[in-house]
Structure 1
Amino acid sequence: MNTMNRTVLLLVALTLCCCLAGLDAVALHRCRCLRTVSHRVPARVVKKIEVTPASGHCRRTEILILKKSGSTVCVDPDAKWFPELLNALQKTGCAKNGAKSCVHRRLLR
């Protein structure tokens, strides 16, 4: 093989590597909630609530509830019972055991 063919082959290989490496980064920035629950989640089972605002990676606001059992559920942001859950958590002192808050707003970089 001559030098020019090797150079072109090397450039094609590097371009392919860069494209494939970028696919992993794109996969991390997508909607995390494929479906949401409509049933009420009791305040006593909530360990943490994470709110991710709509962005270029996901067009909708996502609300994830991490339960004390370790499972995670996604809640419809328009669920009528969700504000009641937030109020109940604030009244019962969601920030027990030294935690600052169990409601977290996830900021995308």
Structure 2
Amino acid sequence: MARAATAAAPRFLRAAMLLLLLVAACRRAAGAPVVNELRCQCLQTLQGIHFKNIQSVKVTPAGPHCDQTEVIATLKTGQEVCLNPAAPMVKKIIDKMLNKANSN
């Protein structure tokens, strides 16, 4: 009986070490962010805003997190507003921001 207990101990230790390594590997892989948000950030959108009030614009394409393209403008005051990506004024704002970035 004592011999069976001593033979099981190395197997148990081996299994415990394997489990520990698997948990450590999974934790490392889980730490890598896939997307920032898992839902739409814009519940309401504006049709436009004056270009001089905008500091930056972030465009997030549709994906598994949200079924619509989102345009989030950061104003010079620090406030963030959602813009309607289909609105003509918003399309002009995005074009201006892209041209401004390409000219720098």
Query: TM-score band, normalised by the shorter chain?
Result: 0.5 to 0.7
- Residues 24/79 of structure 1: CA separation in 2 closer, same or farther (3 Å cut): farther
Unaligned runs of 5+ in 1: 103-109
Structure-2 residue corresponding to 1:51? 59
Alignment partner of 1:29 out of 35, 39, 57: 35
Residues of 2 paired with 1:71 and 1:30: CA distance?
Answer: 19
The number of equivalent residue pairs is 94
Residues of 1 paired with 2:13 and 2:84: CA distance?
Answer: 54
Identical columns (%):
23
TM-score (norm 1): 0.57
Unaligned runs of 5+ in 2: 1-7
- Residues 11/74 of structure 1: CA separation in 2 closer, same or farther (3 Å cut): farther
TM-score (norm 2): 0.59
Residues of 1 paired with 2:55 and 2:30: CA distance?
Answer: 33
Residues of 1 paired with 2:69 and 2:62: CA distance?
Answer: 5
Relative to its length, the structure with more helix (as a share) is 2
| 2:23 matches 1:10 | no
- Residues 69/19 of structure 1: CA separation in 2 closer, same or farther (3 Å cut): same
Correspondence 1:18-97 to 2 at 5 A: 18-26=25-33, 28-31=34-37, 33-39=40-46, 40-55=48-63, 59-86=67-94, 89=96, 95=100
